[in-house]
Chains A and B, each alone.
Chain A
């Protein structure tokens, strides 16, 4: 009688082999041809929407921030800056639209960083798909969030008495430009999401960058009364260009050059931060 503890029979205590039988009932499936870039990116966009449906509270940033900022700025500064909240709103609304949507871009980095920490992307990266698809798909999902924020700001503005002279077409052009620029700016945050270690690091950096960027612009006041050096900063700030164009679109006075400038600035952001993001993504360990 020789017992061999190390090579004991394979079944553990209380175990039934139903699993192995069941597995053979799930037939092997050959691998289909890999999806094209569009299918892959749209699948990731669908994933982003599923996540929003499961945790709708993550939309609070694109719901609460725009509403709070629009109300706060209108009634806090309206009387002092323009004589009345109603009159200030005519100037302010395109500015809050830009600020609300640009502030939402930081969550692109925060969400990507969280996904990477959980290891979900390990599985994605072992799939034979167009490599930028996970990030492009996430940005499509973000574009929808930006649209939601835009619709809220605009809707609230109309409710409070904002009257865009550019009509429906002007408003749609304005929103489209803001969303395009925000998606382009999001590539900065995808890079930060990959390079920085934690979500809180991204948030603090984002606050340091985004608040000066949006406040040191013509979003809330005309730069006429500012000291010369600040005026220079405001004029050099790409957000100023975006706000001017957005305002012009809503007023119905936008020019093709203004639109082209915003699109060019967006393209430049993607051209620089897109490849940097993908490089960091491929090298992410």
Chain B
């Protein structure tokens, strides 16, 4: 639907091998410009390797990648002039203060001394780090370091920001702060490629998600697409009288013809996979049989469930030479 110029990233068939390990086994990735794109996978799936290739830090063994219209292998400088990198694979000078870190990077981006100084102050104020600005970074908390790392990647506003697991190891409020910063950036027009192993992070931030496992992309789409592809959700029922659980379970099983599991609360039951209209009939059936219902909910599958379903399928598919080396 869009011309090639509207693509921030277009990668085809990327492979990368480290000694005996196949890190990437043909990664294809298409990221439209101006969105937050989630790149999701377990540890060691190939997320960081892909990101390092796209950010010109690594060369792929084969395959091609264009970032903002430039080939990463043949025109790395053109790519470098337009991207930034932050997250676990980027880093700060721990011995230096925050201000010194930002000023050094400001000079390296091309600002003159005074501009790098004022930009450092601007970012320190914007990220709420001004009070600690003149303390060495090694004395900082993890959340503050991550915010400084993000600030350092914004000294010049990038067209494309690579964020490698930006919230791993952060407490919930620090995570939410990083999330809002990322959203604000995307609203201002920066494309963000975000790798994460947290599904709720991808779900909350990303317009589209690619799921990677064992060095290949196993699913791609909007969070809604991915959930729909994995099937229906869960029916949760909370009974008014917990002692009626056995009759209620039997009644639900009769209508839905699906296994019924007890929930963690007494008198709560859940059924995986019913269609919405069937679930409605089942709840009505409880009512007709004088089993009062205190609450019920039909949940769509969480991305966690989607992810587990996808990766389990891939693991069952034992035709994966990277995963199971034949000795």
Contact = CB atoms under 8 A, between A and B. Distances in A.
Interface in A77-94: none
Nearest to A4: B300
Interface string B40-63: 000000000000100111110000
Interface stretch (A19-27, A101-109, A148-156, A258-266): A19-27
Interface string B79-100: 0111111000111111111001
Interface string A16-52: 0111101111111111111100011001001100110
Interface string A121-137: 01111111100000000
Contacts of A27: 122
A47 B176 contact: no
Contact of B177 (A19, A24, A33, A123): A19
A136 to B, nearest CB: 13
Nearest to B178: A19
B94 A118 contact: yes
Contact of B128 (A18, A35, A55, A123): A18
A129 B301 CA distance: 47
A1 interface: yes
Contact of A17 (B96, B127, B156, B180): B180
Assign chain A's interface to a size class: 35 or more
A3 interface: yes
A22 B81 contact: no
A60 interface: no
Given A7-B300, A43-B107, A54-B95, A31 B181 contact: no
Interface stretch (B211-219, B258-266, B291-299, B318-326): B291-299
A227 interface: no
Interface residues of B, number: 75
Interface in A187-242: none
B117 interface: no
Nearest to B299: A5
Given A6-B203, A29-B119, A31-B156, A20 B109 contact: no
Contact of B91 (A14, A46, A122): A122
B175 to A, nearest CB: 7
Nearest to B172: A12
Contacts of A123: 85, 90-91, 105, 152-153
Contacts of B52: 122
Choose among A8, A15, A128 the residue with the greatest number of B CB atoms under 10 Å from its CB: A128
Interface of B: 18, 52, 55-59, 77, 80-85, 89-97, 100, 104-105, 107-111, 115, 119, 122-123, 125-128, 136, 147, 152-158, 172-173, 175-177, 179-181, 183-185, 188, 200, 203-204, 223, 227, 295-304
16 contacts: A1-B296, A6-B301, A7-B300, A12-B172, A26-B122, A28-B188, A29-B119, A29-B156, A35-B108, A35-B110, A50-B100, A54-B97, A122-B57, A123-B90, A128-B81, A129-B108
Given A17-B180, A126-B57, 14 more contacts: A6-B304, A7-B223, A12-B175, A12-B176, A26-B154, A29-B156, A31-B109, A31-B110, A47-B104, A50-B96, A50-B100, A54-B136, A123-B105, A126-B80
